[in-house]
């Protein structure tokens, strides 16, 4: 049943986000071509104005896609589980966990896709192909020198990349679950549900920031730790520790927020 829920969720969100992705690709292509063709000094002032217009439209499409992605993710959870559609969804032969997982998986997938497209288009507009080739060549030389000088090989670099990907994935999940838990708690109240959800969201956000700072103070992993690092090998180890700590902290956030959401949806939900 989870597959059917995911299919329906991807269809419901994709009809909003896929057209914006197409607009982003078209805007990035227009901006890139305008910079390379119309943005040259020999093209004239009018051509430069048109190039600037295309670049502005591209950045507007980037902001629109990022904003609409968050709005759609939050709105789908609100409307489908807490609004008018909630009466039907909660009568389906599925568990609360399947409902939450369908929303969460689709949300994280769309956040990942939109992030990849946004950053890919940004780099594509900003740099030419020959510049990318030069950058990759310089990076290869840099990695070889690091390996010879400090013993930092491909395994360390791959592990850092994997840890960073896991951290970003858990960060996306915790962000979505923060919205979900706030809405679920707010809709357990008889009145002023959305206002209460906003208050809970701000409270959770403030609490997470305080806990993160306290943990950094207690463990000693602060920005001042970089100053005391004597060599690049120790810096890499320090970076590993920070990434692993961030992964553990976000994993705890995900578990706590998920349990709160599931508890509220199954026990204390008051649908509109």
Instruction: Give the closest residue to 260 by CA, choosing from 184, 186, 200, 190.
Output: 184
User: pLDDT of 248-272, one tens digit each?
Assistant: 889 999 999 999 999 888 875 555 5
DSSP state of 92: S
Cβ burial 13-35 (10 Å sphere, 16+ → b, else e)? beeebeebbebbeebbebbbebb
Under DSSP, is residue 65 helix (H, G, I), strand (E, B) or coil? Answer: helix
Q: Please state, in angstroms and rounded to a whole number, the distance separating the CA atoms of residues 228 and 125.
A: 38
Who wins on pLDDT, 130 or 34?
Answer: 34
* SS (HEC) of 105-150: HHHHHHHHHHHHHHHHHHHHHHCCHHHHHHHHHHHHHHHHHHHHHH
167 in Cβ contact with 243 (< 8 Å): yes
Q: Percent of the chain having pLDDT more than 70?
A: 74
Who wins on pLDDT, 264 or 235?
Answer: 264
Who wins on pLDDT, 126 or 145?
Answer: 126
Average pLDDT score over the chain: 80
Q: Please state, in angstroms and rounded to a whole number, the distance separating the CA atoms of residues 3 and 207.
A: 35
User: pLDDT of 137-176, one tens digit each?
Assistant: 666 666 666 666 555 666 677 777 888 899 999 999 999 9
6 in Cβ contact with 102 (< 8 Å): yes
In the chain, alpha helices (H): 2-33, 45-77, 86-89, 96-126, 129-150, 154-186, 193-219, 232-267
Section 21-39 average pLDDT: 82
On the question of pLDDT at 223 being above 60, the answer is no
**Inter-axis angle of helices 232-267 and 129-150, nearest 10:** 110
| pTM: predicted TM-score of the whole model, two decimal places | 0.81
Distance spanning both ends of the chain, measured CA to CA: 26
On the question of pLDDT at 227 being above 60, the answer is no
């Amino acid at each position: 049943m989870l597959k059917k829920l995911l299919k329906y969720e991807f269809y419901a969100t994709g009809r909003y986000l896929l057209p914006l992705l197409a607009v982003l690709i078209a805007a990035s292509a227009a901006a890139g071509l305008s910079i390379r063709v119309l943005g040259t000094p020999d093209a004239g002032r009018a051509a430069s104005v048109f190039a600037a217009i295309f670049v502005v439209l591209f950045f507007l499409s980037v902001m629109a896609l990022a904003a609409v992605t968050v709005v759609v993710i939050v709105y789908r959870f609100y409307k489908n589980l807490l609004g008018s559609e909630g009466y039907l969804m909660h009568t389906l032969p599925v568990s609360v966990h399947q409902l939450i997982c369908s929303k969460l998986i689709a949300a994280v997938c769309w956040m990942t896709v939109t992030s990849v497209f946004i950053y890919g288009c940004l780099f594509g507009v900003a740099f030419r192909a020959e510049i990318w080739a030069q950058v990759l060549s310089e990076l290869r030389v840099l990695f070889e020198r690091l390996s010879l000088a400090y013993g930092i090989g491909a395994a360390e670099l791959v592990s850092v990349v994997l840890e960073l990907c896991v951290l970003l994935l858990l960060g996306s999940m915790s962000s979505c679950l923060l919205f979900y838990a706030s809405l679920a708690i707010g809709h357990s109240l008889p009145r002023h549900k959305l206002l209460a959800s906003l208050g809970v969201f701000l409270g959770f956000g403030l609490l997470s920031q305080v806990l993160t700072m306290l943990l950094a103070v207690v463990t000693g992993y602060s920005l001042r730790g970089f100053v005391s690092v004597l060599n690049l090998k120790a810096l890499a180890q320090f970076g590993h520790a920070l990434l692993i700590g961030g992964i553990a902290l976000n994993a705890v956030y995900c578990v706590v927020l998920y349990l709160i959401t599931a508890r509220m949806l199954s026990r204390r939900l008051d649908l509109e």
